[in-house]
């Protein structure tokens, strides 16, 4: 006979029984963004206000291009996960489904257009 206490059954599981997966994903992406964003702001700040040739030359180099791509992908993934948690908490029914589809679509469109523009600049 297997006997589990209420604490043992509930440990590591939230209401949806997924545990702390969302929390860890958000924490990891937040830490990644904490390092990426200041570096990207420095690179972007140096290019801000320059002529188009200087900006294109800046983002055509590997480090700024890779950093910008990481910011786009990690930032939009962080946004989508955070918005998903908020929507799951407060919306129900069809509005919930539509909002989730909208959030994922918006983040995918932003990543796709950003990466397309970055590839056009870098190549």
Task: Give me the CATH number covering residue 102.
Answer: 1.20.1300
Q: How many domains does the chain have?
A: 1
d(CA 65, CA 121): 9
* CB distance 22 to 82 below 8 Å: no
Tell me if 52 is assigned to some domain.
yes
Mean pLDDT, range 15-31, rounded to an integer: 79
List, for residues 79-123, the tens digit of each pLDDT value.
999 999 899 889 999 999 999 999 999 999 999 999 999 999 988
Domain ranges, residue 48: 26-122
Residue 101 lies inside a defined structural domain of this protein: yes
Alpha-carbon distance of 110 to 43, in angstroms, equals 20
> Is there a domain that residue 68 lies in?
yes
Whether residue 89 is contained in a domain is answered as yes
The CB density around residue 28, as the number of other CB atoms within 10 Å, is 12
Burial of 69-98, coded b for 16+ CB within 10 Å and e otherwise, reads bbbbebbbbbbbbbbbeebeeeeeeeeeee
Judge if pTM exceeds 0.85: no
Q: With respect to residue 5, please indicate whether it lies within any of the assigned structural domains.
A: no
Cβ distance 74 to 37 under 8 Å?
A: no
- For residue 61, the 8-state DSSP code is S
């Amino acid at each position: 006979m297997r006997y589990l206490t209420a604490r043992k059954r509930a440990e590591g599981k939230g209401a949806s029984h997924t545990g702390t997966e969302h929390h860890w994903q958000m924490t990891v992406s937040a830490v990644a963004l904490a390092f990426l964003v200041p570096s990207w702001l420095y690179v972007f700040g140096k290019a801000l206000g320059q002529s188009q040739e200087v900006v294109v030359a800046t983002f055509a180099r590997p480090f700024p291009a890779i950093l910008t791509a990481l910011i786009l992908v990690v930032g939009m993934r962080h946004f989508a996960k955070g918005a998903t948690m908020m929507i799951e908490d407060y919306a129900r029914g069809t509005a919930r489904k539509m909002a989730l589809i909208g959030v994922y679509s918006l983040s995918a469109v932003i990543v796709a257009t950003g990466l397309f523009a970055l590839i056009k600049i870098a190549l």
